[in-house]
Structure 1
Amino acid sequence: MKTEWGFAQLLPLSTFNDADNGYLICDTCVFGAEVCVINYTSRGQSINILKERNNTYTWKIDNFSSLDGEIHYSDNQEFTAISQRKFNCKGYPKGNLTAKDKCQSLILGLNDLKTFPSVRKTYAKFKMRMRNQYHGEHMEIEGYNCFTSSSMAWGPSSFLLLTDLHDASNDFLVNDTLIVEAKVSVLSTGQNFSVKLSPYPNGDEERNGEEYISLYLVIAETNNLPPGWEVNVSFKLFVYHEIQDKYMTIQGS
Structure 2
Amino acid sequence: VTTLNTREAPPAHFMIKIESFSVLEKYGIKKYETKKFVAGDYKWRLIFKFNGKDSDYISVNLAMADTTSLPTNWEVNALFSVFLFNQILVNYLSSTGRTLCFQATKSEWGISKFISRKVLSNPSNGYIIDESCVFGAEVFVVKREAVIEHVLLTNFNIYYNHALEISGFYQLAQRWVSEEFDAGGQKWKILLYPKRNAEGTGSHVGIYLYYLGTERVQTCFTVCMKNQFDDKQTRRYSSSSSWGGPVYIDLATINDPNKGFIVKDCCLLNIEINLPIKKLD
**TM-score calculated relative to the size of structure 2:** 0.44
Whose Rg is larger?
2
